[in-house]
Amino acid sequence: ATPTAVMVGTGVGASQGVLIKGGQALESAHKVNCIVFDKTGTLTVGKPVVVNTKLFKNMVLRDFYELVAAAEVNSEHPLAKAIVEYAKKFREDEENPIWPEAQDFVSITGHGVKAIVCNREIIIGNRSLMLDHNIAIPVDAEEMLAETEEMAQTGILISVDGEITGVLAISDPLKPGAHEVISILKSMKVRSIMVTGDNWGTANSVAREVGIETVMAETKPEQKAEKVKELQASGYVVAMVGDGINDSPALVAADVGMAIGAGTDIAIEAADIVLMKSNLEDVITAIDLSRKTFSRIR
Ligand code: ADP
Ligand code: MG
């Protein structure tokens, strides 16, 4: 392609909300034959909401959510925001609730949070966080988790003073058109893979709904990047699509990093292409544009 064609290509992209950071990014995109998708905020809307709560101890929902929110209000995680939002519903001061002070707040990346609230030790997160703290998961809690995951929702465990007290079900629906985008990519001979920090049960259910066959769950940020490198080593030209801080190493490692426009600044910074409208269809727009630009005869 001539420099003019590349300029036209990036210009057309920009006019459609696909920000391509330079000619190299536009060129690489036409060779892509494998795309690694993050789940939360990329394949899903990324606005999780609490849809169900189950308590296993004799506790009032309002008091339960007060402890939970007091801990989670210190976290930046989208799941934490969903939980605090939901907890407000149990309050009279719903608009601007004043939560009890949390002491010794710790955020454990990819697992959850812990804090001392009202002299009680609160631990909120996934199975492995509980295992790490030697907290037994009772059968009824495990059942609730399984049901939740089967419905492609995320189950969050809550421990109070070392005992599982409740499970929350959080739903984050698929983006509209997600399934269609994956099947169009298939017809374009592009393989799709999903990587997520979420648990295997939820990950498999989401993948099934969206039509992705290869899944990697319970991954750490470095593992997402390693997966990209592994695919490259086996001969694929890889694009990574993600929105989170935890996707940035993989966005950098990929031949083409594509960030969701509504994502974190760090992901946008790390990417070669930014999908300004946060639509998944624009993954195809970007590849199409690159194919058109680079298949022209010089
Ligand atoms: P993703 O890749 O889906 O964005 P993360 O790596 O951020 O996921 O988190 C993985 C898992 O850790 C979540 O699905 C959740 O179970 C747990 N987790 C992380 N942060 C929190 C939090 N603030 N509160 C509760 N659970 C959390
Ligand atoms: Mg994400």
> Ligand 1: which of 44, 73, 126 to mutate, judged by most atoms within 8 Å of the beta carbon?
126
pLDDT 10s digit of each residue in the chain, 298 long? 788 999 999 999 999 999 999 999 999 999 999 999 999 999 999 899 999 999 999 999 999 999 999 999 999 888 999 999 999 999 988 778 999 999 999 999 889 999 999 999 999 999 999 999 999 999 999 999 999 999 999 999 999 999 999 999 999 999 999 999 999 999 999 999 999 999 999 999 999 999 999 999 999 888 999 999 999 999 999 999 999 988 999 999 999 999 999 999 999 999 999 999 999 999 999 999 999 999 854 4
pTM of the model: 0.88
Ligand 1 atom 18: residue of nearest CA: 112
Q: Which CATH number fits domain 49-171: 3.40.1110.10, 3.40.50.2300, 1.20.1440.230, 3.40.980.20?
A: 3.40.1110.10
- For domain 3-45+173-294, the question of CATH label 3.40.50.1000 is answered with yes
C-alpha of residue 128 to centroid of ligand 1, in Å: 11
Between the CA of 178 and the centroid of ligand 2 the distance, in Å, is 15
> Would you list the domain boundaries of the chain?
3-45+173-294, 49-171
38 classed as catalytic: yes
Closest ligand 1 atom, CA of 124?
25
| Residues that place a CB less than 5 A from ion ligand 2 | 38, 40-41, 243-244
Can you tell me which atom of ligand 1 is nearest the CA of 80?
23
pLDDT attached to residue 296: 56
- Closest C-alpha to ligand 1, atom 13: 198
Q: What contacts 24+ positions apart, CB below 8 Å, involve 206-212? A: 206/39, 206/43, 206/44, 206/152, 206/174, 208/152, 209/152, 209/174, 209/179, 210/43, 210/174, 210/178, 210/179, 210/182, 211/179, 211/182, 211/183, 211/186, 212/37, 212/182
